[in-house]
Each structure stands twice: as C-alpha cells, then as structure tokens.
Structure 1
Amino acid sequence: MQLTDSHCHLDFPQFEGEIDALISRASDAGVHRMVTICTKLRQAPQVRALADAHAPVFWAAGTHPMSVADEPMATVEALEALAAHPKMVAIGETGLDYHYTEDSKAQQQESLRIHIEAARRTALPLVIHARDADADMARILAEEHRAGPYSCVMHCFSSSRALAEAALDLGFYLSMSGIAAFPRSADLRAIFADAPLDRIVVETDSPYLAPPPHRGRRNEPAFVAHTAAVGAEVFGLAPDAFAEATERNVERLFPKLVA
C-alpha cells in the first residue's frame, strides 16, 4: 500500500534538522511522496531546495491568505516563473480566511484571483485554503471557472456541505486531513462519504492537525496513513483499495507527480 501526503509544510521550523528521518518514517508507513507547500513566495527558494534534495518531495508555491496583508502581492508572472520548475506541481496555497484576518478580505480576494489566473496559464492545479468565507469562496471559484476552466483541490476540507458541493460541481477535489479523523467530526465525515471517491485525496497539513492516535502532537507525513485508514472506513473500503483510489486521484490532480 502506498500513499501520497498531498499537503505538508516541511520548511517549517518544527522540522528543522529532521527531514531525512521524517522521510524515512514516512516511507516505513507507506507514504512514498509528499507535496510541501510554500506559503510565502519569498520562501520559495528554500522550499524548492527541499524538493531538489529529496526524491519523494514535490512542492507548490503561493501566498497564504493569512499572510496577504504582510507580503508583497503575488503576480501571475512570478508564479509562472516558479511553475517552470519540474517538481513544482501546483499553485498555492491561496484562498480566503476570514477567521482571524477578515480585515484583509479585499486583498485576499485579489490574491486569490491572481493565483487562479496563474493556475490557468500554467495548467497546474490550485491549492485552496478556505475558512469562515464559504459564500465568497464559492462565488469567486464559480465566477473564475466561468471565465476559464482550471483545476483545484480544497485543501484540508472542513467547511460546509454547500461549499463541498459547489467545489465538486466545478470538478474540483476535496482533501481529507486529520480533522476528518477527529471523534467529533462525524458531520464532516458524512460530507466526504457523499462525495465521489474519485475526487478525494489525503494530506496531513503537518506540522498541524495530527490525527488520532497522535492528536495533540506535532503532525508529520507518516501520519497520513491514519487519516487514510479513517477514509477507508468512510467509503466502506479495505485500506489498500482506498489507498489505490487516492493514488489515482492525486496523480490526476497533480500530473507533474508522474511527468
């Protein structure tokens, strides 16, 4: 059984000095690939270097919505230039987060549309972060899709059923994180259960959101296996069948993983 951690943050300080050991533990758990996400474009060289140095590591780059107010506004051209790297597989993460940073929502929306245009031009998928902004998120994704199609994954999906349905209607993917494995996440698991299996990928968002039995600890790519075990239960599948399905999905979502 093999799995891909479709979203982690290996450049974060929680992993400093541990990358080789972390990749080894992931391999032991059946996690043979991981996509590390750059959340501030000025950090792209460090994130790219991780992918260059480690065969199982791929990367994506964008400006996280919570950082938009404090970082230079991304440009389509800058994102296109980064996307030329052979192991850069996606644009983002980008999106909207009104939980703590609603005061920058106009800037967040501008940044989101810039990232969407970069995804169109590069034919790379978009990685979306959405929190407490469901209505604006659904509206912008739909408006932009009508203006020109693009592919997308709703990373660490934990929003409403309405946003899940809106994303799925556009042909997008939902990513299952450790949140879906939390005991109190029955409603979220029900949303996933009603989604098409061929639109599901798995992730850790490490170092955050460790699934049981590691909840409360630092998360890492190896732990995506625990989330995948819960995903198998949600879809009524054997673990290896669910893993095979998510592997097909992640390769369809991120074609450069197998380019």
Structure 2
Amino acid sequence: MAPVFRFAPSPNGYLHLGHAYSALLNFDLAREAGGQLLLRIEDIDATRCRPEFEAAIYEDLAWLGIDWEQPVRRQSQHFADYRAATERLAAMGLLYPSFESRAEIARLIATEEAKGPWPRDPDGAPVYPGVAKSLSPQVVAELKQADVPMALRLDMTKAIQASGSLTWTDQGVGPSGETGTVAARPEAWGDVILARKETPTSYHLSVVIDDALQGVTHVVRGQDLFWSTSMHRLLQQLLDLPQPVYRHHPLVRDTGGAKLSKSTGSTSLRELRAGGTTPADIRRLVALPRRAAS
C-alpha cells in the first residue's frame, strides 16, 4: 500500500513560514515515497474559522507548487463520524459530563493552587481537577434538563486502565530529543474534553478519526504537537484505530526564538508573496532548498 501523508491546517488565519515548511516537507516526503498527499481543513471552531482563510490556504499551497488529492476533507462536514466515536467511548464507560464554565474552572484551579503546586498539561494549561465525576446521576439529569452548557471529558484513569501502556514510533525528534520508540504519557493531559454540547468533537478526537478514515500512514507535523501524540495513541487504542508512523519536525522560529503563530501576527505567506518573495525563496528560508524530483 502506498504511503499516505496529510497537511491539516485550520482556516483561522493566513498561513506563515511554519505552515509552508510543514506542507512542503509532507509534499516532498510523499513524492519521494511514491505516496499521496491529502489536504484536510480542520474547521471545527466555527467562531474563528472563516471562508476567506480557507480560500487563501488553497491559493498559498498552489503558489508553493504543492498539489494534493481530491476531495479535501473538511471536518465541519463530518460531525457524525466524531459523534459515533464519542458514543462508543461513552458505552465503554470512559466519558463523563462536566458543566463548569471556564471561569468556574479557573476558580477551582485557583483554590487548588492556593494549597500548593497544581499540575499542568503539556501545553501549559492547568489540569482539570475532576470534580464533575462526583456529580450524582440525578444532578447530571437536572443540569441536562436545564440545558446547561456541557462538555464530555475522558476519564483518564479508566482510559489508561483499559488501554495499558502505549508507545509510538517517531522518525523525527521531540522537544527534548526524543526519537525512535517513545513511551506515551496520556496521563499528563488529565481528563481532557473530547466534545462539547455545541461542537461534538475536539482536536484530539477529530484528528485520530480523520487519520483512520483517510488511511493516513505517516503523520508529519511540528514538535509543538509531539506530546499530543500520547493522547492520540490512547484514543487509537481505545477505538481500535490503526497507528500511523509519526515524524515531528523542528519549528520555524522568529528572530527572537519564538515559534511562528497566526495569533501573534507572524508574517503571512501572502505578505511575503506581495513583497516579491518567490516559492524558491520560501524553500531556502525554511531550509528545504530542493524541490522533490517528479
């Protein structure tokens, strides 16, 4: 079976050099392996994703000389796939509802931190304290009846008991030099949200479902997602999904050492193109000087 790679941007801003590096690397690797490159639009966040950003993704990638298989998968069109996965996990007794607002969770964390250090997940966010697991079935029913906003969380303790210890194969390198066979540490994420009442999926859930349904064999992405792979391996194991080979690549950083980001206004490919930068220049800027042979 031919290898299948994918590039999966979110249309919540314009692509920058970091996206260019990841897209070009996936494109080159797919061509070298005689495989396919898929394009996925990760647009589950309806409040931030906009049609003009999606259109710009296609334009920027075509300008870079990248082509991809059709059709493009747009996550917002596949909520039924993600809902089916949450229903399966719920039937296994691995999900529970939580009803706190972000402000209420912040107050809960502040109370815990007043007693001493509180764990944070690999992204630096405080781990959810799990208080909703103690709600009685009657209270849960009443809150649902009252139409209180709800999130479905993975009971991490039960999930790890069901999955056992896990690893993944990484052909790249992690933020601390991890490579080869890497031990997954999903417990570091705590009881993560897998779906919300208004959006029946999350990044962690949708990405593993998409990779499986699209037959992705190689996941090539930035080091900022290295430890997310722990969660993805856990969900793959729980849902009997295939495990891709992973390759985490170094991030493209600005002159101050910070990673490029849409939210911080990093210079976009559109701006570079308008200023006279060529696709060949982009390859040199991201240290990919040669285009893969046809």
* TM-score where L is the length of structure 1: 0.31
Pick the structure with greater CA Rg: 2
* TM-score where L is the length of structure 2: 0.28
Higher relative contact order (CA 8 A, sep 6+): 2
More helix by share: 1
